[in-house]
Every structure is written in structure tokens, then in C-alpha cells.
Amino acid sequence: MDWDAGRVSAVGMESAQASDARQNASPAALQRRLLAFLRGFRVGPLFFYREQLLANARRNHWVVTVNLSHVAAFDQELQDLLLKSPKEQLPLLESATKEMLAQLLVASQSAEVDALAADNARAASGSGSNLPDIQAVLTSDQAPVPLRHVHAQEINRLVKVPGIVISATRVRTKCVSATLRCRNCGHAKRVAVSGMGGVNIPRICDRNREEEGGVTAGDLCPKDSYMVLPDKGEYVDQQTLKLQENPEVVPTGEMPRNLALIADRHLVDRASPGTRVSVVGITSVVNAGGKSVGAVAIRTLYLRVVGIEIDEEGAGRAKATFSPSEEEKFHEMARDPELYEKLAKSIAPSIYGDYTVNMKKAIACLLAGGSRKRLPDGMILRGDINVLLLGDPSTAKSQFLKFTEKIAPVGVYTSGKGSSAAGLTASVIRDAKGEFYLEGGAMVLADGGVVCIDEFDKMRESDRVAIHEAMEQQTISIAKAGITTILNSRASVLAAANPVFGRYDDMRSASENIDLMSTILSRFDMIFIVRDIQDDARDRQMAAHVVRMHTNALASAAGKSSASENSSSGGEFEPWLLKKFITYCRTRCAPRLSVGAAQALQDFYVGVRDDVRRTQGGETTIPVTVRQLEALVRISESLAKMHLLNEATREHVQEAIRLFSVSTMNAAKDGGTQGLFGGFHEKAQEVEQSINRTLRIGTRVETSALYSRLEAQGYNPNAIQRAIRAMVQKGSLQQLSQYKFVSRVK
């Protein structure tokens, strides 16, 4: 159905010989050739399109999916015509499909088979003679055209454009053929409606033109006498999408470009925001809508969709293909017992320091990821690993984030201060027509990859709360402006934050240094506290490395660098090879815990919990909850995934426990994440209640005296600090004279 005929301008780019050949081929002849293709194309002994059409008719699905490679194998000239003039050829293809279905149903009835398909066709058409319209959906194996390369020379051509859907409107009803009736004489006519425009209603009744010689002036119909009969028109479903180029192909420093998509009939509701797709469509133009004289010649590009290929469930990323030689290379890498160490050395190799070794290993685990699991009851267990780097400035946290964004199969980098809740999750936007549509944020666009959030502590608390669901359940629920839906956000989070006072203050407890709620901290599998320790030997090594790196960069620019100099700041694997290997691991491997590994994790969990129960008060030893146990499972699976193994062994579990101990457990022992593990929050609340009982409103007391009084009651100093700080933030207490006194305000 050519619903945008008459509206779209076309630029013919074919040669004169091809143009002559097209003019000599009549539409009827082309339709016969298309019918011959549909009837005669085989895949082995099977008549492919005959069987597909009958199978769809049995299900009341009036669609035929045509692969352009099949057309090329049958008749190369037909494929060229479909690519160069799809607007003219698609209606012929749909007519040929309808004709073939009619022939098949007649043959089926005579053979007393496929009665269901014939009954469905009669029911859908509303009469016994006419068949329902059939939509032709095209798939193509041609090389995709990058979105930013879709220019004027592609107008009225069939192109394949990859990208990510960032917004989708509601499905609307589009009139494709309107019936008009004259108010004066009752003359009726049908008018085709252009693609993105309205009905062009003639101002003069056609009867005036038909009877111009025999009608007197008194019998002429007045101008603007036609009216639209809404119930007599033909309608189809239509949806507008916005396609944005994939984040990983956007040049540095440039804004990602987007293109409007118009999908109709059976192609509506095929893709939600955040879905990566390859769209086969006709590049078309519509009036830009300007009112100036020059705006008449200005047109806006859009893509009329004739086919959508959606990435597989769970992939969430651009399809990656690997040659046999690459797969052999990856399996050879996986057999290397030192692969784990080499991968860690290849993560940001220019960053130096003993404190970075475990951080690099954690980022390698984050990039590989664990295994996503679907339980029998439908519950989803996330496999993505979240890591938080928290510490002093100038410890290369942001550099780790930048490198991870480039190496990840899908990477999105954002800064906390410049990110809002809607920008991270999703928002509902009102368009120029007053309709609402959904637009995905960074967590949605990074589906299947990594979201790098810098300056995590600078985010507003309300914005941080918005990503709680995305980090644990890996979905984003939207209920705004009448739109209720759930979007996928299957992405790892690598975040960097600074302490409260800018630098980590060793004179204060970790609970004072870390200004993050336990609800968000508990969603990170590994938390690293990074300190800039002042040590003479370490400072000399660091300074030598930085100077050597700058010197090598200058020498490399001059073409004088040596192999030894390059190797000093280079990793074991080139970045492009590292990125491909990570993509291969994520797509081809989903390990599970072996029996021995599972038993080792159980023993560790039970042992730590038992230590807590034996510890008086349960505060000196930090327990591990079920959420941290799941984090250990994911880390173990990621270590196995690096070696392309189907099972995680005891050795993987031991390394996962070590990584977890040097990161989250060390942070917990400092007191900063005690709130993760239960008990601490309740203690702080008890301290608040004791302060409220002890101090009357308006009372002023020395801070040290208040500490001594509460410690005498048996409260932990960390709980006292957290309670006083919380009461100050709520406005219940006020600190005076440089924190020497505390006054209760309310």
C-alpha cells in the first residue's frame, strides 16, 4: 500500500541505460516477474514464499517477509529495481503477493486443504471476493549505511541503517484513502492521502468540470463544497520512532545524530526505546514546515520503514561477527594460564601504581560480566557487575572510566553533576502535536554494556535514587503521562566518587568520609577506597613513570620511540583486540558454578556469618549478606568467562573472595559501608532516640561530653557519629563554634 505517494520527492540517480530499461518495463510486466519469483523461488525442495504465505494466512497474519538476497539469486535486475526505485516496486510486490495468495487458495480449495487459510482470508476481507491487503516486509544482507552518511543522494533509495531506538510515539490511526462528498450535489470521490501530510481537499466539485459545457451558472456547486466522510476512509496503524546512531560509533566531541522513522501496519510496536535495530527503509523527504520563501525548497529527511531487524534477546548490543581465525586466536588466548594477569595489565596500561592492580582486575571482571539467569518462576538474576571507585583526587579514577567506556562493547560516559534522573533512566516528552512519547536515557542506551558515571557523589540524592532499580533489577519502570511500561537496562555501572571533604581524611572515620546511602552502596559488587598515600619511594616511582610517559609520547610523535619505551606503558593486548575478546566472551560463554565452587562459597558465607554470631555485639566483624553472596557468584563466573569455560571452579571462587575482601570488605572494616550489612542503621537510630531523650530543645552541650555520655551507655562511636551527622542534616541539631558544641534545635 503506497500511503506516501504524491508527497515524497525523488532524485533519480541511475544511469541512462538503467532508466531506459525501467521505462520499457511496464508495471504489469514487472508484477508478473515478481509473481514468478514468489511462486518459483525454492530453498531446497521447499517453495519458500508459497509456504510462508499459507502459514501466515492460517494465523491471520497478512505479511510476507522477502529477503533481497533471494530476489538477487532469482533475478538480479529485480533486486536492482527494488533498491533504486522501491516506491514504485513495493506496491507491485504486494499486488503480486495478493495475486499469488488468491491462486494458492483456489488450488487449496480444489485439493480440499488449507480450508483454515481460505476462511481467514474471507473473514479478513469482509466479503467472499476480495482478499485482505498483504504487507511486504523486506530484509537485506547489504552493507549498512551509517546514519550520519544518509544524505540527499540516498533519497528514494532502499537503505539499511543500524542504530538504537531512543523514542517511540503511541500507535496512531493514519488515513491512507479518504472519501469526499459534495454537500451540494452528492458527488463522491476517493482521494489518496500523502505520507506525512493531511487530506488535500479540492476546492471545486469535479461535477463542475465533468459537465462544464452543459451546466448553467445556477447549477454549479459552490467552492469548498467537499466534506470528508470519516467512516468511509481506509486506515492503517502508524507509529513514529526516532533512531539514533550507536554510541560507540559517534566521533569524539560530536553530538549523536538521529533520524525520524515512520512505521505502519504490522511494523508498529516492534521496537521500544533502548532497542538496537537495523532498519530497512526508503529514504524520503517531507516539507520542513518553514514559512519563509526559502523554506519552500527545504526538506526534512525521514525513513519510511519496510523492515526492522531486532537484536536477539539478551544481546543488547550491535551484532558482532568473528572470523574463524579470530575465534582460533581467542581460544588460544583463553588457554593461557596467565590470561587473567595479562588482561588486568591491558586495562589502562598507562596508569601506574600498586594500588591499581586489584582495581584493574575488578574492571576486567566487570567487562567480562557474570551469567544472567532466568529462574523457573520467571525471576531474572542479573549477571552484570557494578564497581565503585571512591577516593582522593588525582588517583586516576576518571581515566579508568574513560578507558572502560572505549573498551566496552557498548559504553556510555556521563558525569554526575550533569546527569538528571530522566537523563539516566527515561523521560516522557511532549511533541509539537501535544502527544507524549518515551525517550530513553543513558542506562537504557547502554543496554548490554557499561555505564560510566563520574563524580557520583556530586549527583543529587533524588537522581541517585532513580537508578536503584536499574542497578539491581536491571529494568526501568515508567508510569508518566498515561504511559506505563518497563524498559531494559542490562548494563554494568562503573562509578567514581570523592570523599565528603575532597580528600580522604584519616583522622575521621569512613562513615564521615563517605556521603552515600547504604541503599546505593549495597548495589555495588566491589567498592574500592583509593587513598593518595604520601610515601617517598612510591612518589619517586610515580614521578618517574609520569615523566617517562610524557617523554615517550613526545618521542613517539617525532617517530623516535623504541620498542622498550613503548612496552613500558603498553598493555599485553592491543585495545582493539581486547575489545573484540571481551565481546566474544560476553556473547559466547555463560558459565555456571561447579559443585566444588558452590560448596566453597557456601562454606565462606556460613563461616563469616558464624564469626559474626560469636562476636559480641556483631559490630567488629563485618557480616556478608545474601546480596554480597550473589556478588561473589558473579565475580567467580566472570573469571571463568575470561577462559571461555562452562564452569567456575574453586580457584575462581578463591580469587573472587580475595577481590571482594580487598575491596568491599576492607571498606566495610573502615566503617563506611557498615550500613550495608545490617544492624548499624538500627544502632544509629537508637543513638538518635537517646539524644532526643537527653537533650531538651534549646539545650547546648559540648560535643566531647555528648560523646562520652553516649559511649558510657554502650553505643559504638561510629554509630554516634552517624546519628549526630544525620540529625544535623535533618535540622534537629546544630553544630556551633567549629563543631565544639552541639545545640538541639527541634
Q: Which tens digits make up the pLDDT trace of 245-278?
A: 877 777 766 777 888 888 888 888 887 777 788 8
Measured CA to CA, the distance from residue 575 to residue 405 in angstroms comes to 12
CATH match of 148-310 with 2.40.50.140: yes
- Closest CA relative to residue 523, chosen from 416, 670, 676, 639: 676
Measured CA to CA, the distance from residue 428 to residue 422 in angstroms comes to 9
Domain 16-140 in CATH: superfamily?
Answer: mini-chromosome maintenance (MCM) complex, chain A, domain 1 (3.30.1640.10)
Q: What is the pTM of this model?
A: 0.64
Q: Which of 285-294, 361-370, 371-380, 483-492 has the highest mean pLDDT?
A: 361-370
- Summarised one tens digit per residue, pLDDT across range 658-698 is 888 888 767 666 544 444 445 566 777 788 888 888 888 88
**CATH 3.30.1640.10 placement within the chain:** 16-140
- Summarised one tens digit per residue, pLDDT across range 105-119 is 776 555 444 555 555
Look at the domain 679-744 and name its fold: Arc Repressor Mutant, subunit A (1.10.10)
**CATH 2.40.50.140 placement within the chain:** 148-310
Q: Please give the single-letter amino acid code of residue 20.
A: D
Q: Which residue has the higher pLDDT, 738 or 333?
A: 333
Beta-sheet strand order (sheet of 387-391): 411-415, 450-454, 492-497, 387-391, 526-530
Q: Which residue has the higher pLDDT, 354 or 219?
A: 354
Measured CA to CA, the distance from residue 590 to residue 572 in angstroms comes to 25
Cell of 88: 514504485
For residue 316, is pLDDT > 60?
no
Look at the domain 324-588 and name its fold: Rossmann fold (3.40.50)
For residue 12, is pLDDT > 50?
no
Measured CA to CA, the distance from residue 734 to residue 572 in angstroms comes to 55
What pLDDT is recorded for position 612?
Answer: 60
DSSP for 519-588 reads HHHTT-SEEEEE-----HHHHHHHHHHHHHHHHHHHHHHTT---HHHHHHH--SS-HHHHHHHHHHHHHH
Q: Which residue has the higher pLDDT, 417 or 614?
A: 417
**CATH 3.40.50.300 placement within the chain:** 324-588
Measured CA to CA, the distance from residue 271 to residue 258 in angstroms comes to 16
Cβ atoms of residues 700 and 743 within 8 Å: yes
Query: What are the angstrom distances between the C-alpha of 660 and each of 83, 117, 233, 365, 572?
Result: 56, 61, 66, 12, 25
Label residue 618 by pLDDT band (50, 70, 90): very low
For residue 572, is pLDDT > 80?
no
Label residue 327 by pLDDT band (50, 70, 90): confident
- Summarised one tens digit per residue, pLDDT across range 23-52 is 446 778 787 888 888 787 777 777 777 788
Cβ atoms of residues 490 and 316 within 8 Å: yes
Share of the chain above pLDDT 70, in %: 76
For residue 616, is pLDDT > 60?
no
Measured CA to CA, the distance from residue 744 to residue 742 in angstroms comes to 7
What pLDDT is recorded for position 553?
Answer: 64
Label residue 555 by pLDDT band (50, 70, 90): low
Label residue 195 by pLDDT band (50, 70, 90): low
What pLDDT is recorded for position 565?
Answer: 42
